[in-house]
Amino acid sequence: MKSGVRSQGSGAGKYEAVIGLEVHAQMLTDTKIFCGCSTKFGSEPNTQTCPVCIGMPGVLPVLNRKAVEFAVRTGLALNCKISPYSRFARKNYFYPDLPKGYQISQYELPICEGGYVEIVVDGDVKKIGITRIHMEEDAGKNIHEGGGSYSFVDLNRAGVPLMEIVSEPDIRSPKEAAEYMKKLRTSLRYLGVCDGNMEQGSLRCDANVSIRPVGQKEYGIRAEVKNINSFKFVEKALEYEIKRQIKVVEEGGRVIQETRLFDSATGTTHSMRSKEEAHDYRYFPEPDLVPIKADAKWINEIKDALPELPDAKREMFVSEYGLPEYDADFLVSERSLAIWYEDAVKAGGQPKAVSNWMMVELMKLLNDENKTIEDCPVKPLQLARMLKLIDNGTISGKIAKTVFEDMYRTGKDAEIIVREKGLIQISDSSEIEKTVDEVIAKNPKEVERIKAGDEKLLGFFVGQIMKATKGKANPQMVNDLLKKKLQQ
């Protein structure tokens, strides 16, 4: 059935992995979840704080309605039921980056429950269940620098709204986990609720991993792997952990329930705390906040305002624009890319041509400068109009590449660049004929050889003519004329 761990060394084929992911996503609200402080990333430490998010005595949280809206939006997009009545709870533990000594989270009654995400692995569609989505506040950050026997605490992040998206243990391989993460990230970005930046920590992933002999129904003992802080580490961390658990079992040992930390430097996981050392969070309902009532009317308003999600877009690109799956997959991987594409097509660009230009020329230019489509100096309409110039024979496809690069560097329209640089294609047959005659006259030896049957030399003549016309001659006409003349 599932092939996920077959490559995991000796004995691996006998086991399958069972993985569930807990994903923390920072919500893109302007202000924190329980106070009015800014959520901007990267400011001077403790400049985005107030008595509420610092946890001073006597202050009270006030819920940011936008955060609830974002969670509901996500829940709807991930096919969840939205709870008409949910509430916050306190999760109690001591840590310097947690100013109140408890985190306001949700426990018994989360805002969303029971959804799913569809992923494609090796051509097969698979549903990964979503157990729940709940809201909570982020903690601050402890900073260990300066070498003294103390640390600093930055509370700018304390109170930034988070969603915790908990999957069912439906994932069977590191590859599926990576696909799930990719899919989730794309969806969150489409929804505009999270920027999905794992390196900056706005998207974080903890994994519950266990193994069991293929065919066994019961789950094995699971370990929780934390600190998977980059997209590329999702697969790596899981592969290691699965391999480790198999090894333990193969050597006659038993996997124990524990929390393990992934170390990206070594690509391994190591034990952080055992089950016995696990915190007792002493959850209880948060008495400072009233329960959240999400009425059907509000939920419907959010539903109606949902943007088109990647699956629907891909479908549309294939059926309406006739794009190959490969192109469609690429274009929907980012909402901004898909929108750029659609804008170019709506501006008159031929769908497949636009896709080709985006996937090859545009991405190359962007990647060279480490830019994203948001920073692209060329506008969709400009690409569409450049493609028109190729279509109507004003420029050749080859010249177009130079023109496009110029457009990218200068932001100018194709028409202007073509005019300024005199790049208009020569389609005047008498002018081309003159050049063809000159080139033939200059190269008698080659003419003889071609007449003797050395067809390859045709390319040489085309090259010489293009050189003479600075690439502006209409290639089709050059070909036709050359053939005609050389056959004489």
Partner 1 sequence: MKLNELTISELRRFLDNREIKPQEVVDDIYKRVDGVEDNVRSFITITKKEAYEMAADAEQAILENKGSLLTGIPVAVKDNMCTKDILTTCASKILHNFKPPYESTVTTRLKEQGYILTGKTNLDEFAMGSSTENSGFHITRNPWDLDCVPGGSSGGSAAAVAADECVAALGSDTGGSIRQPAAFCGVVGLKPTYGRVSRYGLVAFASSLDQIGPITKNVSDAAIMLNVIAGHDPLDSTSAPINVPDFAQALGQEIKGLKIGIPKEYFIEGIDREVEDFVRLAIKKLESLGAIPIEVSLPHTGYAVATYYILATSEASSNLARYDGVKYGLRANGKDLLDMYMQTRSEGFGAEVKRRIMLGTYALSSGYYDAYYKKGQQVRTLIKQDFDNVFNDVDVIVTPTSPTPAFRVGEKAADPLQMYLSDIFTISVNLAGIPAISIPCGFTKDNLPMGLQIMGRHFDEESIFKTAYAYEQSTEWHLRRPSL
Q: Which residues contact partner 1 (rule: CB under 8 A)?
A: 51, 54-63, 90, 92, 94, 96, 99-102, 153, 280, 282-284, 287-290
Nearer to partner 1, 99 or 349 (CB): 99
- Alpha-carbon separation of residue 32 from 48, 113, 165, 201 (angstroms): 10, 24, 19, 16
Query: Least distance in Å: CB of 51 to partner 1?
Result: 5
Query: Least distance in Å: CB of 225 to partner 1?
Result: 23
Query: Least distance in Å: CB of 59 to partner 1?
Result: 7
SS3 66: helix
The 8-class DSSP code of residue 236 comes to H
- Alpha-carbon separation of residue 117 from 68, 87, 212, 382 (angstroms): 21, 25, 24, 36
Q: Which residues contact 382 (CB under 8 A, 6 or more apart)?
A: 407, 413, 414
Nearer to partner 1, 116 or 283 (CB): 283
Other C-beta atoms closer than 10 Å to the C-beta of 243 total 18
Query: Least distance in Å: CB of 89 to partner 1?
Result: 10
Q: Do residues 199 and 186 lie in contact, with contact meaning Cβ atoms separated by under 8 Å?
A: no
- Cβ neighbourhood burial of 181 (10 Å; 0-12, 13-18, 19+): buried
Nearer to partner 1, 57 or 148 (CB): 57
The 8-class DSSP code of residue 221 comes to -
| Whole-number Å distance between alpha carbons of 430 and 422 | 19
Query: Least distance in Å: CB of 289 to partner 1?
Result: 5
What pairs with residue 294 in β-bridges? none
| Whole-number Å distance between alpha carbons of 306 and 311 | 13
Query: Least distance in Å: CB of 57 to partner 1?
Result: 4
Report which secondary-structure segment, H or E, holds 81.
strand 81-82
Residue found under tokens 């545009």: 362
Nearer to partner 1, 282 or 442 (CB): 282
The 8-class DSSP code of residue 309 comes to P
Query: Least distance in Å: CB of 98 to partner 1?
Result: 9
Query: Least distance in Å: CB of 52 to partner 1?
Result: 9
Nearer to partner 1, 81 or 282 (CB): 282
Nearer to partner 1, 107 or 231 (CB): 107
Other C-beta atoms closer than 10 Å to the C-beta of 80 total 23
Nearer to partner 1, 53 or 399 (CB): 53
Nearer to partner 1, 256 or 290 (CB): 290
Q: Which residues contact 224 (CB under 8 A, 6 or more apart)?
A: 206, 207, 208, 209, 258, 259, 260
Query: Least distance in Å: CB of 96 to partner 1?
Result: 5
Nearer to partner 1, 116 or 281 (CB): 281
Nearer to partner 1, 108 or 118 (CB): 108
The token pair at 49 is 């704080």
Query: Least distance in Å: CB of 278 to partner 1?
Result: 10
Residue found under tokens 């804008």: 343
- Cβ neighbourhood burial of 123 (10 Å; 0-12, 13-18, 19+): exposed
Query: Least distance in Å: CB of 32 to partner 1?
Result: 14
Nearer to partner 1, 290 or 360 (CB): 290
Hey, which bits of 98-143 come out as E strands? 102-105, 112-121, 124-137, 141-143
Q: Which residues contact 456 (CB under 8 A, 6 or more apart)?
A: none
The token pair at 432 is 């081309």
